Structure 1
Amino acid sequence: MRFLRSRQFWLYIAVFLFAAGLTAGIAALLMNIQTRKMEAVQYPLKVVEIAQDELDPAVWGQNFPVQYDSFRRTEEDYGSTPYGGSTPYSKLEKYPAMTRLWAGYAFAIDHNEERGHYYALIDQKQTRRVTERDQPGACANCHAAEAPQLIEEMGWEAFNRTPYKELQDQLHGGSTCADCHNPDTMALRITRPGFLNAMERRGIDVSQATRQEMRTYVCAQCHVEYYFQGDNKLLTFPWDNGTSIDQIEQYYVDTGFRDWKHAETGGGMIK
């Protein structure tokens, strides 16, 4: 009898502990859910007010630390990968035939593996394609954080045709949060006229884009085929016929545009 009572006692203890643990677990879960709901209402937790034209990623990082940490990782050199990597090796040294393929074009004197967004302006200012050749301000459209502000001040045509060397003292930051994000909510936004002009010519209203489309659009502001049109060197995306390779090629056939004349063959070339 004493043995049975002892077993019942420990059974009661076990049931009590299990119930207490279950209650504590449910309470913790409910508190976590409530906390996440509050975070969702308060997101982002504003430490500072960020202006619409704030270009310093570190300022954005005070309100968006996770995203800022991701941006800072583009500064790291993690070596080469099958897709390029972050080591700025010379492609001309690795693939000597490219010097001849690019003959007569600035890429024949300097063509390095591109690095992350942090280096967008740093690498551009250092390349011999800029230091030894005259380039238009259009080159800064996607390499300089100041581009949208300068375009607003100078006008689209004036910004593009102004020599790069005349603009470079006003260019201080490379890719930045403001290029693609709203400072209040981190929502995606478009800031580059070249993309907007191309979409307008195609009859596409960017303001009606879905979130998934915007994830493509913000990257397509810069990571696309482009050329400098006319004497004003207007940054232009050759998308009038569509965005496939064949449609872009047909655009160049229709317009007769060529990036340069090959130094050996004299043939018109598209980069």
Structure 2
Amino acid sequence: MKLGSARAAGAIFGLLASACSPLKMFDAVMPKDGGGRLAIRDAAFGPDPRQRIDIYVPTAASARPRPIIVFFYGGSWNSGTKNGYSFVGRALASRGFAVAIPDYRLVPQIRYPAFLEDNAAAVRWVRRHSNEFGGDADRIVLAGHSAGAYNAAMLALDPRWLGEDRKAVRGLIGLAGPYDFLPFDGPVVQHTFGAVSDPVSTQPITYVGAGDPPAFLATGDKDETVRPANSDSLARKLRAVGTQVVRRRYPEVGHAGLVTAVAKPLRGRASVLDDAIAFADDVTR
């Protein structure tokens, strides 16, 4: 079986498609885009070994600083590693963006809201060090898949996390994100959020307000892990306050398939990469 073929990629994906399983094996065998490269590996944005970040940049030169996408991976807040997402970093970088992919502390080492504190620290590190990799500190798009989309949405919508740095956020890209999931009715959310005295405060939808950054919200019609209704609910509330929203639904695509469609051999399954880049280009002009 030739690993570079779409059929082989689909077979490998089938072995890994249990929700948001770590994608290190998938990433290892995927052909990568040639227009992006890893520029910085394992930079520390905090003292914990999980507080490390990778930066991908386009191989082509640019006359001006490039807009930045900070991508948070999923994994139910209890698993995942940036080392499984170089296919995302290189794909986005090949389209002209500087790309930051941080690790962050996970359950059970921590609970909510410590992973958001880590994500915010990563964004602040990106802004402070943007000149080291040719990024524009004032043109940032926050992106994520699944639990990572939750993280991105909370940073984009809730001013507690980024403070003044939130002004640099030009857009939100959420792939299959949970944004409106009360009550806490499963073990994952119970373990992550169950000790919070005010559950409403954990929901991204709670913080929607005038002046929020534009949002690209995507789901697969076959998602049985995070209900697409989460994205519908957030889109409605954002539009109600006048925020620009692009809502995309991809037929025959499941939960993990929404992010693996970014990989070169699987892009025929859904136009996630093209659609997200079109949005990011628009909001960072």
Kindly indicate whether structure 1 or structure 2 has the higher relative contact order, using CA contacts under 8 Å at least 6 residues apart: 2
TM-score in terms of structure 1 length:
0.27
User: Scaled by the length of structure 2, what TM-score is found?
Assistant: 0.26
More strand by share: 2
More helix by share: 1
